[in-house]
Chains A and B, each alone.
Chain A
Amino acid sequence: MTPALATGILITSLVLAGWALVAALRERWLNRGHLALAAVIEVAVLAQVVIALVRMAGGEKAAEPATFIGYLLTVALLLPAATVLAYMEQTRWGSVIMAVAGAVVAVLMLRLQQVW
């Protein structure tokens, strides 16, 4: 894990969660800004996944390897899955989906750092 990148993802995903929640409260679906931010976070998440895998391949061991890899897979798939689900539900509830996904990404980044 790279603490700076992980913390950056954590904070940014919380921003996404809050921003999407505002949209939901205003009865709006996500705008391009939300989707762009989600895309940026996903790129950072994938970078973090690659870095972690390379370091594990290089001999570094996570404290709980199996759990770590499980979280890594989940966090990588979460935002794409949420985006698909949000596109299926183009109402305020699509925004709620993105808000929940952002919060879960933040929690997962925290747990990832704990089990590394």
Chain B
Amino acid sequence: MTAVIDQEAPETREAATNSGPGRVLIGIYGVFALAAGARAGVQIATKFDEAPVAYALSAVAAAIYLVATVGLALGNRFGRRLAFVCCVVELLGVLTVGTLSLLDRAAFPDATVWSGYGQGYGFVPLVLPVLGLIWLRLGR
């Protein structure tokens, strides 16, 4: 099975996630990883006691965005798989935390990246994994 796929066009497949529109996505993912990471860093450094769970979650989210960025940039089979897993986790994260944050505001006193379905970040956290998954699927 793999032999057939490999024969088809190994180079276009290889170039699929890290060129063309993929580079735009990589750029946005990179900026987002940086933004979320920097904010989580500030929150943990200055007021971790106020909401340890929320801030730790922000840091985890930032790390996942970073891994997704690297996966997309690699563009090979391993990178694509890595990016796919990250996008799924991000989507589940934003949906779960988004719903929880609406149900129980006290649990998330200060906005995390995923609170309110990423409202504080212009819903980018909700849109980004969907775009990522579509892009990974198209490139196959």
Interaction A to B: yes
Which candidate, A6-14, A35-43, A91-99, is the interface stretch facing chain B? Answer: A91-99
Q: How far is the CB of A69 from chain B (nearest CB, A)?
A: 9
Say whether chain A's binding surface is mostly helix, strand, loop, or mixed: helix
Chain A, residues 63-86, CB within 8 Å of chain B (1/0): the string is 000110010011000100110010
Query: A-B contact count, CB below 8 Å?
Result: 43
Near B by CB (< 8 A), chain A positions 88-116 give 88-89, 91, 93-94, 96-97, 100-101, 104
Q: Contacts A70-B39, A74-B38: A93 and B21 contacting too (C-beta < 8 A)?
A: yes
B92 within 8 Å of A by Cβ?
no
Q: Contacts A74-B34, A89-B19, A104-B31: A96 and B42 contacting too (C-beta < 8 A)?
A: no
- B contacts with A, residue count (CB < 8 A): 18
Q: B26 — which chain A residues lie within 8 A by C-beta?
A: 85
Q: How far is the CA of A44 from the CA of B41 in the complex (A)?
A: 28
Q: A96 — which chain B residues lie within 8 A by C-beta?
A: 21, 24
Q: B46 — which chain A residues lie within 8 A by C-beta?
A: 66
Residue among A66, A74, A100 making CB contact with B35, cutoff 8 Å: A74
Q: B39 — which chain A residues lie within 8 A by C-beta?
A: 67, 70
Q: How far is the CA of A100 from the CA of B21 in the complex (A)?
A: 12
Q: A67 — which chain B residues lie within 8 A by C-beta?
A: 39, 42
Q: How far is the CB of B123 from chain A (nearest CB, A)?
A: 14
Q: How far is the CA of A82 from the CA of B100 in the complex (A)?
A: 36
Q: How far is the CA of A62 from the CA of B34 in the complex (A)?
A: 21
CB pair B24–A100 under 8 Å, yes or no, is yes
Residue among B24, B34, B38, B41 making CB contact with A93, cutoff 8 Å: B24
Contacts A/B (CB < 8 Å), 9 sampled: A73-B38, A78-B31, A81-B27, A81-B30, A88-B23, A89-B20, A89-B23, A94-B23, A104-B31
Residues of B at the A interface (CB closer than 8 Å) are: 19-21, 23-24, 26-28, 30-31, 34-35, 38-39, 41-42, 45-46
Residues of A at the B interface (CB closer than 8 Å) are: 66-67, 70, 73-74, 78, 81-82, 85, 88-89, 91, 93-94, 96-97, 100-101, 104
7 nearest interchain CB pairs?
A70-B38, A66-B42, A89-B23, A96-B24, A93-B20, A97-B27, A85-B27
